[in-house]
Amino acid sequence: MHLPYPPRKASNPAPYLPRSSPLPGLRRTRLKLIALVALAFITLIYLVSRPSNKHADSVQWKPSGKPPVVLVTVLDEKKYGKGYLQTIVENRIQYAEKHGYEAFFAKVGDYDLKGAPASWTAVVAVRHALTKFPDCHYVWYLEQNAFVMNPELKIEDHVMQPSRLEELMKKDFPVVPPDSIIRTFSHVKGQEIDLVITQDKAGLSVGSFIVRNSDWARFFLETWFDPLYRSYNFQKAETHALEHIVQWHPTILAKMAIVDQNIINSYSKGAKGAQYKNGDLVVRFSDCSTAGKAQECETESQPFATKWRKAFANS
Amino acid sequence: MSLSRSPSPVPGGGWASPGLNIPSGRSSPTRGVTGSNGTPVMWESSRLKRGGSAGYPSFSTKNEGFFGRHMRRLSRSLPRFSTSPYYADKEKLGRGRWPIHNVPLLGRIRGIVGRMGRRMKIRLMVLLMILLSIFTFYNTPMVYHWRRTTWLGGGQKFVIILGANVGGGVMEWKGAREWAIERDSVRNKKKYVARWGYDLEIVDMSTKKRYAHEWRESWEKVDFIRTALRKYPKAEWIWWLDLNTFVMEPSYSLQDHIFDNLEKHIYRDINEYNPLNITHPLTDQYLDDDERSPVGDGNANSVNLILSQDCSGFNLGSFFIRRSTWTDRLLDIWWDPVAYEQKHMEWEHKEQDALEQLYISQPWIRKHTGFLPQRMINSFPTGACAEGGKNPRIHYDEKDRDFLVSMAGCEWGRDCWGEMYNFRELSYYLNRTWWERFKEDFLAMIWFKLTGQKVKF
């Protein structure tokens, strides 16, 4: 339908120009003023508010990973023959060189243990390695009577990768066999783990363990090395001290993962723990060292020595 | 009255007020009041204003001056004589008064403001703002919330744990004195906490057998600190206080007194004051530089435990511990059955000696521990550590206005309640307001000089 007239103009036209902006108060000069006032206000708030001081934990220092792994071994030169120790040192150095690791050797008697059994040297040696290589990611302690058998495996990939670790670690698992009340936590994540250790038939096995370089590692090692533990006459010295602190102190238990022995701690004989299979990273001659007969270790290690030399030469 | 202006004496015209004798019932101004002489009456002032042009009505509808503007309002507020028979004599009391309150308050204020000059208005405004700010800040809960807020005053970062009910419960009946001590101590802390916006956690230290296989007496501290950290998630520092303590200067905030300048106040090298003769720093080759340095890493942010030393070593009557993973570890390690089994015969002060032992043997603990001069957080009365006489490092001195007094060891042969009472009174005396000082020091003194009598106002 057509309208007869065009739409009417307003009969009272606006006397002024229409508004240029929806808010007439916001002219440019006003905007400046508002900005200034806002700035002053924010400054005031900034001045009266307290700076939140950085939490001590938040500024934790991160190691750069040079070298990625330090392989620690404590040598007992008084008890064992030179040739045998030489083989062990070569084994460690070759493995370390292959992956860009460092091998760190300590000798029994290097540290003042204040009358504690010589086996405690291992704990201090690992602590010393952390001091000496503050940029390393992991410290792997492997006791003297053992060989690295598989040169291909890297610690970072084979064990310490968080996803890999989550597959490996035994959750809700009694810390001391067969059935201690204290069990490993079932909800820990791979990246939270700072200590990887194994368990043989007698209990935790301290012949081979990996510690991640962290604040916690220092705390753990220093606590483990406490003079009151050393003087307590634990039957198995540092092994039992470790079992003790792991079971009594949840801050330690929460960072520990127990993995299968075959991962880092296979035994040459299957009587006391998992027996060595081809392809395992490590073989340990655990019987001979507890028996304390140096000669036995050397003979037991002979076949493995030729084997690792061959494996390393091939790789 | 029908005029909107009062009759005024004019230089030439005498008291010409012609409208007054006209009994007019109208309230609106008449146009041109006819005077007795037949000409329109013109007031002198209005004639001057209008440039002498006669012939127009004398009143003006413009707002001229106060009276012109407020005539109506004022006249309305005048007493009225009601002629109505219904209301006669009903309100005898109000008769003849000026019911000024009939004018609405807002209207009155508006009137006053309207009569004020612009500059005056601004001045008044500023004054009002200042007064209002002072009021809102100091007389409302605002100051409390300000001091509490983490990013303003930061009070929420501090939690005081007060170990109450020491040795009570099953072991011992509490007598009147013990109750009085507890009441005073708790009230003192409550006041302090309310003033600065901290949190107070009063815990029951009565000796209980918490663990079936062990008697962990006085290691409950550890559990209480853990619980408090969980209960107050914003707390950064926990301040442990024994029951026999008294905050002498409630006007000191913890931030001001200690934490704003932590580097300045604490000492980490124990050789500065070393009653236990601890070898420091550690020198073992296998330790980090931090652990071999006498001051840790030297950064005050890495201090997680702050305590003081008295004449015989560490004192845990008053200490600070910070929320951190380090603290979790310390609280976890602090009580260990193997250490306890070997040492419990020597450890007279249980957790205190255990901490000393840990400090001596554990480098990781040493590097995060700081010490405060004892009198900053833990002054002793002269009865404690009394062997060497009064020691300016240990004993309370009212001239220095020490922050806190700890009646350490008063339960062994000293009068806890007496000490507490004296310190309480001393604290009140030292912290009198200026008005109390004026009354007691000045007025009462004058009165004493004049009459020889002691009075209390």
Q: Domains of chain A by range and CATH?
A: 69-313 (3.90.550.10)
Q: Tell me how close the Cα of B411 comes to any Cα of chain A, in angstroms.
A: 32
* Mean per-residue pLDDT, B301-314: 92
Query: Least CB-CB distance to B333: which of A112, A125, A249?
Result: A249
Contacts of A131 in chain B (CB under 8 A): 286-288
What pLDDT does B62 receive? Answer: 63
Lowest mean pLDDT among A210-219, A243-252, B19-28, B175-184: B19-28
**pTM for the predicted model, two decimal places:** 0.77
B203 three-class SS:
strand
Residue B3 has pLDDT above 60, yes or no: no
User: Considering only alpha carbons, which residue of chain A is nearest residue B340?
Assistant: A228
User: Considering only alpha carbons, which residue of chain A is nearest residue B363?
Assistant: A222
A246-284 per-position pLDDT tens digit: 999 999 999 999 999 999 999 988 888 888 988 899 999
What pLDDT does B206 receive? Answer: 72
What pLDDT does B335 receive? Answer: 87
Cβ contact B332–A244 (<8 Å)? no
Percentage with pLDDT > 90 across chain B: 42
B 32-91 near A (Cβ less than 8 A): none
Q: Tell me how close the Cα of B354 comes to any Cα of chain A, in angstroms.
A: 11
**Looking at the DSSP assignment, which residues form a beta bridge with residue B201?**
B161
B114-156 per-position pLDDT tens digit: 888 889 999 999 999 999 999 888 888 888 998 998 888 889 9
Q: Tell me how close the Cα of B76 comes to any Cα of chain A, in angstroms.
A: 41
Burial readout B300-332 (b: 16 or more C-beta within 10 A, e: otherwise): bebbbbbbbbbbebbbbbbbbbbbbbbbebbbb
Here the contacts of B210-213 (C-beta below 8 Å, separation 24 or greater) are none
Q: How much is the mean pLDDT over chain B?
A: 81
A217 close to A211: Cβ distance less than 8 angstroms:
yes
Instruction: Give B210 or B259, the one with higher predicted confidence.
Output: B259
DSSP-H helix ranges across A133-276: 155, 162-168, 215-224, 227-230, 237-248, 250-253, 261-264
Query: Least CB-CB distance to B286: which of A49, A128, A248?
Result: A128
Preferred mutation among B332, B334, B344, B369 to probe A, highest tally of A CBs within 10 A:
B332
Burial readout A149-180 (b: 16 or more C-beta within 10 A, e: otherwise): bbbebbbbeebbbeebbeebbbeeeebbeeee
Contacts of A56 in chain B (CB under 8 A): 301-304, 322, 324, 326, 368
d(CA A289, CA A296): 9
Query: Least CB-CB distance to B301: which of A56, A111, A244?
Result: A56
Residue B266 has pLDDT above 70, yes or no: yes
In the 8-state DSSP scheme, what is residue B267?
A: B
Q: Tell me how close the Cα of B394 comes to any Cα of chain A, in angstroms.
A: 30
What pLDDT does B36 receive? Answer: 47
Chain centroid to Cα B421, Å, comes to 24
B59 close to B3: Cβ distance less than 8 angstroms:
yes
Cβ contact A128–B285 (<8 Å)? yes
B309-363 per-position pLDDT tens digit: 999 899 999 999 999 999 999 999 998 888 888 888 888 888 899 999 999 999 9
Cβ contact B361–A124 (<8 Å)? no
d(CA B237, CA B83): 79
A2-58 per-position pLDDT tens digit: 667 777 777 776 777 766 666 665 667 788 899 999 999 999 888 877 766 555 555
Instruction: Identify which of A228, A230, A248 has the alpha carbon closest to the alpha carbon of residue A239.
Output: A230
Count Cβ–Cβ pairs < 8 Å, chain A vs chain B: 89
**Is the Cβ of A109 closer than 8 Å to some Cβ of chain B?**
no
d(CA B431, CA B250): 8
Tokens coding A298: 């050397």
Q: Tell me how close the Cα of B356 comes to any Cα of chain A, in angstroms.
A: 13
Query: Least CB-CB distance to B339: which of A112, A228, A252?
Result: A228
**Is the Cβ of B342 closer than 8 Å to some Cβ of chain A?**
yes
Q: Tell me how close the Cα of B237 comes to any Cα of chain A, in angstroms.
A: 11
Cβ contact A244–B338 (<8 Å)? yes
Q: Tell me how close the Cα of B112 comes to any Cα of chain A, in angstroms.
A: 29
d(CA A147, CA A306): 11
d(CA B329, CA B325): 6
Cβ contact B368–A56 (<8 Å)? yes
Chain centroid to Cα A114, Å, comes to 29
Q: Tell me how close the Cα of A74 comes to any Cα of chain B, in angstroms.
A: 14
Q: Tell me how close the Cα of A116 comes to any Cα of chain B, in angstroms.
A: 15
Cβ contact A56–B361 (<8 Å)? no
Contacts of A126 in chain B (CB under 8 A): none
Contacts of B284 in chain A (CB under 8 A): 111-112
Contacts of B143 in chain A (CB under 8 A): none
A 182-221 near B (Cβ less than 8 A): 215-216, 218-219
What is B91-127 written as a DSSP string? -STTTTS--GGGS-HHHHHHHHHHTS-HHHHHHHHHH
Percentage with pLDDT > 70 across chain A: 90
User: Considering only alpha carbons, which residue of chain B is nearest residue A249?
Assistant: B332
Cβ contact A56–B285 (<8 Å)? no
* Mean per-residue pLDDT, A135-148: 93
